[in-house]
Amino acid sequence: MAFKSYVLVCGGTACQSSKSDEIYKNFITELEAAGIKEDVQVVKTGCFGFCEKGPIVKVLPDESFYVEVNPTDAKEIVAEHLVKGRQVKRLLYQGEETKKHAKVEDIAFYQKQFRIVLRNCGVINPEDINEYIARDGYAALEKVLFEMTPDQVINELKISGLRGRGGAGFPTWLKWNFTKQVNDSPKYIVCNADEGDPGAYMDRSTIEGDPHSILEAMIIAGKTIGSNKGYIYIRAEYPLAIHRLDIAIKQAKELGLLGKDILGSGFDFDIELRLGAGAFVCGEETALLASIEGERGMPKPRPPFPAVKGLWQKPTVINNVETWANIPVIILRGGAWFANIGTEKSKGTKVFALTGKIRNSGLVEVPMGTTLREIIYDIGGGIINGKKFKAVQTGGPSGGVITAEYLDTPIDYENLQKLGSIMGSGGMIVMDEDDCMVDIAKFYLGFTVDESCGKCAPCRVGGRQLLNYLDKISKGKATRDDITKMRQIGNAMKRASLCGLGQTAPNPVLSTLTYFEKEYLAHIDDRTCPAGKCKDLITYSILPEKCIGCGLCARRCPVNCITGEKRQPHVIDRSACIKCGECYSVCKFGAVVRK
């Protein structure tokens, strides 16, 4: 016996706080009352991510999407929809885009996610080439091999407006065209899969979920610019992605989609993997190429650009994973289709890795021009534990923070740059009121200082100096003059560093200085850390009037520095306290205070 319909009630934290439990119970009662309990199953689900309009109730299989449902609405939905089969119009979601549609696919929340790059991720078996082929895989390659001229391919890319997804946003067609026009051979195709931003893993997921999309795109590029050899530079820390690529390459070779005389076209193309040891700087294209050549991964000055003198001084197209994954779709659907998505200057979609203090961390692919608010609140489900949003860091360690007042900025390359951040590879780390901006800047800068290749002085020395200043600030030992020096160093790094890593390394510092100068000054002038993060600036103490002497804090204290008689106020020995904050978080009576 099967149910005929299903009622999905959102059981996410936000919806629960707006009485979804009651809704759930009411549905069960109402269904019983209506005598259709056997036909309809009521289910509590995870968060739909559309918390702004919660509580949400979804009815399957006809995909009705009810928003802002009250417990009392259960009766009407049961009576009208489930008994009589008529939707309850007044509760159906009506976005600005549509007044009449209520199907899940059509409403705004789901339209916000638009999967081009991740089209096959979570859909096909990545270890079976047949499933890729069944979903029009290698159909774009067919077109390129048998129906299109190289110039037509490049023109399609030009119309599409696709820009490099690795960070800087250089128009892809231009790169290909430069390489195509250079009169030199051999030429090379390189896939940059050296993803390294903390918290970013869209490239890994793309390869793990859809490796053939990368291979197909690289073969297309080879045919277009006149290259017979491609390399995928992937970090050795991605064993599963490497495994899937190995399988994909093997299967493509067996079917004659890679290797000699592809599909009888007379075109040869081969792809090899090159494993990187995980140095962050090897994501920089000139350092990456040096690493493939077996040299120390250090960036080189550009020009000459890889398009002219790349791998082994030969013309080379190098694109990152996400860029490649877009190519077959553009060829299949046409550049114009792609150009329809996104903003005027930034076309298509972007995959973001949403992490930090966000309820639904994960990978989201949205059209360019989606606002940060939509991503963080509508898709990401807002901040964990209902805390206050403070800032979001985009672009990983190369980016900067963006504050609440800019949440409605449509995301594209130019807008992010204007705000002092960058698109980068698409990392997005959300911070709440408990995050200290000095601490955040220290975290990111610490990363780039560790990962600096050490070649150029502004990055190598400037980064270390900046980090030392941040350390001073977090210890309450800095002066206002140090802020001036930090800006001076930050500017020199931006202007005089050789590669993108160094040029963007001060961004987390400079942008937090811009948007949160007060917080810095609190550390300097008042020797306090408003977020309570910087250990040297905080102390924990127990309020005797609130402490009931339960002893929980004393038992949890890892250094046994809390003492007291049972049922008597306890005391913290500050000389021994390591400021781990455990007592603060376990006390149920608000007796432990942080200052």
Partner 1 sequence: MAKMTLEELKKLRESKKRELEKREITGKDIEIIVGMATCGIAAGAKQTLSAFLNELEAQNLSNVLVRQTGCMGYCYAEPTVEIRMPGMPDIIYGKVDPETAVKIVRKHILGKVLINDHILDKPAADIMKK
Partner 2 sequence: MNAKTVSIKVNGMPFFVHEGTTVLEAAKLVNVKIPTLCYHPDLPAWAACGICVVKVEGSPKMFRACSTPVEDGMSIITHDPEIVEVRRTVIELILSTHPNDCLQCLRNQNCELQRLAAEFGIREMPFEYNINQIAVDDSTTSLILNPEKCVKCGRCVKVCQGMQNVWAIEFLGRGDSTRIAPAGDVLLAESPCIKCGQCSAHCPVGAIYEKDETQKVWKALQDPTKHCVVQIAPAVRVALGEAFGLEPGTLVTNKAYAALRRLGFKGVFDTNFGADLTIMEEGSEFVERFVHGKGDLPLITSCCPAWVDYLEKYYHDLIPLFSTAKSPQAMVGALSKTYYADKSGIDCRNIFMVSIMPCTAKKYEIVRSESMYSSGCQDIDVSITTRELSRMIKSAGIDFLNLPDEDADAPLGIYTGAGTIFGATGGVMEAALRTAYFLVTGQELKNVDLEDVRGIEGIKEARIRMAGKEVRVAVAHQMGNIEQVLDMVREAKVKGKELPWHFIEVMACRGGCIGGGGQPYGATDEIRKKRLAGIYKDDSTRKIRCSHQNPAIKQLYAEFLGKPLSHKSHELLHTKYTPRPLYTR
Q: Report 259-298 residues binding partner 2 (CB under 8 A).
A: 279, 281, 296, 298
Which span sits near partner 1 by CB under 8 A: 15-23, 104-112, 419-427, 534-542?
104-112
Least distance from C-beta 113 to partner 1, angstroms?
6
Beta strands in 90-206 (DSSP E): 188-193
Residue 195 binds which one of partner 2, partner 1, none, with CB within 5 to 8 A depending on kind? none
Sequence-distant contacts of 28-31: CB under 8 A, at least 24 apart: 29/74, 30/74, 30/75, 30/77, 30/78, 30/79, 31/78, 31/82
Find the binder of partner 1 among 73, 197, 208, 322 (CB under 8 A): 208
Q: Choosing among partner 1, partner 2, none, which partner's interface includes residue 360 (Cβ < 5 to 8 Å by kind)?
A: partner 1
Alpha-carbon distances, residue 249 vs 122, 213, 252, 391, 557 (angstroms): 20, 11, 5, 42, 54
CA distance 48 to 378: 9
Min dist. Cβ of residue 296 to partner 2 (A): 6
Query: What region does 353 belong to: left with phi over 0, alpha with psi -120 to 50, or beta?
Result: beta
Closest approach of partner 2 to the CB of residue 491, in Å: 7
The yes or no reply on residue 488 touching partner 2 (CB under 8 A) is yes
- By C-alpha distance, which of 410, 231, 262 is closest to 324? 231
- Asked if 45 interacts with partner 1 (CB under 8 A), we say yes
92 binding partner 2? (CB under 8 A)? no
Task: Give the nearer residue to partner 1 in terms of CB position, either 32 or 127.
Answer: 127
Q: In what order do the strands lie in the sheet with 427-432?
A: 362-367, 349-356, 427-432, 389-394, 401-403
Q: Which residues contact 586 (CB under 8 A, 6 or more apart)?
A: 552, 553, 556
C-alpha span between 346 and 417 (Å, rounded): 13
Among 27, 114, 173, 188, binds partner 1 (CB under 8 A): 114
Q: Is 427 or 463 the residue whose CB approaches partner 2 more closely?
A: 463
Does 492 bind partner 2 (CB under 8 A)? Our answer is yes
Residues 417-456 as x/- pattern, contact with partner 2 by CB under 8 A: --------------------------------xxxxxxxx
435 binds partner 1 (CB under 8 A): no
- Per CB under 8 A, 496 contacts partner 2: yes
6 binds partner 1 (CB under 8 A): yes
**Please, what is the minimum distance in Å from the beta carbon of residue 168 to partner 1?**
25
CB of 116 to partner 1, least distance (A): 6
Which residues, 6 or more positions from 374, have their beta carbon under 8 angstroms from its beta carbon? 112, 366
**Applying CB under 8 A, what is the total number of residues that bind partner 1?**
72
Please say which residue, 329 or 429, places its beta carbon nearer to partner 1: 329
Distance CA 493, CA 469 (A): 15
Residue from 462, 500, 506, 564 that binds partner 2 (CB under 8 A)? Answer: 462
Q: Which does 8 bind (CB under 5 to 8 A by kind): partner 1, partner 2, none?
A: partner 1
Q: Least Å distance between CB 458 and partner 2?
A: 5
40-48, 287-295, 454-462, 579-587 -> range binding partner 1 (CB under 8 A)? 40-48
Considering only residues 271 to 330 of the shown chain, the ones binding partner 1 according to CB under 8 A are 329
64 sits near partner 2 (criterion: CB under 8 A): no
- The residue (of 167 and 462) whose beta carbon lies closer to partner 2 is 462
Structure tokens at 76: 């009407």
List the x/- string, 164-203, binding to partner 1 by CB under 8 A. Answer: -------------------------------------x--
Binding-site partner at residue 303 among partner 2, partner 1, none, CB < 5 to 8 Å by type: partner 2
How many other β-carbons are positioned within 10 Å of the β-carbon of residue 44?
A: 16
Tell me if 459 sits within 8 A of 505, measured CB to CB: yes
Cross-strand bridge partners of residue 342: 347
When the beta carbons of 331 and 524 are compared against partner 1, the nearer one is 331
* Nearest Cα residue to 352 out of 394, 398, 321, 324: 394
CA distances to 403, 436, 446, 476, 532 from 523, rounded to whole Å, are 20, 10, 19, 6, 11
CB 354, CB 360: distance < 8 Å: yes
- Cite the beta strand spans of 160-283 per DSSP E: 188-193, 229-235, 270-276
DSSP string for 489-527 = HHHHHHHH-SSHHHHHTTHHHHHHHHH-HHHHHHHHHS-
Count of residues making up the chain:
595
H helix and E strand count, the chain: 24, 17
Of 71 and 259, which CB lies nearer to partner 1 in the complex structure?
A: 259
293 binds, among partner 1, partner 2, none (CB under 5 to 8 A by kind): none
Q: From the list 77, 88, 91, 121, which residue makes contact with partner 1 (rule: CB under 8 A)? A: 121
Residue 314 CB, shortest distance to partner 1, in Å, is 28
CB of 307 to partner 2, least distance (A): 15
Per rule CB under 8 A, is residue 269 in the interface with partner 1?
no
Site for partner 1 in 356-395 (CB under 8 A): 359-365
485 binds, among partner 1, partner 2, none (CB under 5 to 8 A by kind): partner 2
End-to-end CA distance of the chain: 62
